[in-house]
Each structure stands twice: as structure tokens, then as C-alpha cells.
Amino acid sequence: MTVIFSKKCEYGLQAVLYLSAIEPGQIVSSDEIAKKLGIPKEFVSKILQSLTESGIVSSKKGKAGGFSLAKEPGKIRLIDIVAAIDGLGIFNSCVLGFPQCSPDHPCPLHEKWGKLRTEAYEMLTGETLDELRGKTMKKMKSL
């Protein structure tokens, strides 16, 4: 269970990591991705279509159709996927939902959340999919 991302975003991150671990240019069906990751096929298709609209994933229709990365893995960071699916609001808002939360009027968790939020953002921007490929491949083999 994730703490800060929607289930859609969580699945999107997994699907794009999966696409980054296969051979470059290989097209994979949503069925294959769904089976490998244990995600409902319809959900995978919808998520990948939204990532196609954002330019992260490309799709090919037809009998031999499916999905692949639209960019080189070295040009995609996890934050790009988060931004495309959930947006970046979580990195700019109060963890408790207080509308006027700020350094001048902090909520009870403002300082602690600020540190965690910054660390999470840096983690998501720190490496490209290409740099995560080895770890991703190892994880995919364990599924």
C-alpha cells in the first residue's frame, strides 16, 4: 500500500518500470503486463492510454499491438510518471489537508512532512528508468 500515490499511479509506475526492463522497441500487450504484475487488464489499458497521451508510452493498435516506451529510458524519471497520473500537488500541499498551511501558519506535521516530501521528490527525480533497469529486472524475475 502506498502512502502518497493513488493506486492508478502505483500501477502506472510498475507498468512503466516493466516496459523499461524489456528489450528496447519491444511491444508488449496489456494482457502480458497485467498478468506479470497482477493488475486487472482493463486498469492497465486505461493507465497506459493516459501515459500515451502524456508522451511517456507509445501504443500500437491491431493484432500485434501493445505498448512500449515512447522515449529512451534514460530520458524518463519516475517523477514524470507521477506528474502524468497524479500530478505534483502532493509535493506542494499540506499532508493533513489544511488549506492555509504554510511556514508562517504550520499544521502539526508541517516540518516533518516537509522533510519527507522533499526526500520523496528527490528520490523520484534522482534516477532515470535506465539507471533503475538492473533493479527493475531483478524485481520482475521475482514476480
Q: Where are the domains of the chain?
A: 7-136
* 62-112 per-position pLDDT tens digit: 888 899 999 999 999 999 999 999 999 888 888 898 989 999 999 999 999
What Cα–Cα distance (Å) separates residue 99 from each residue in 89, 96, 117, 121? 12, 9, 17, 21
What Cα–Cα distance (Å) separates residue 15 from each residue in 39, 103, 118, 128? 9, 37, 25, 15
Average pLDDT over residues 12-20: 95
* 7-136 CATH, one of 2.40.70.10, 3.40.50.280, 1.25.40.10, 1.10.10.10: 1.10.10.10
Q: What whole-number distance in Å separates Cα of residue 19 and Cα of residue 143?
A: 15
> For 54-77, b where at least 16 C-beta lie within 10 A, e where not — what string?
eebbbbeeeeeebbbbbeebeebb
What is the biggest distance separating any 2 CA atoms in the chain, rounded to whole angstroms? Answer: 58
What Cα–Cα distance (Å) separates residue 71 from each residue in 5, 19, 57, 125, 130? 23, 11, 7, 16, 11
- Stated pTM of the model: 0.89
Q: What whole-number distance in Å separates Cα of residue 8 and Cα of residue 22?
A: 22
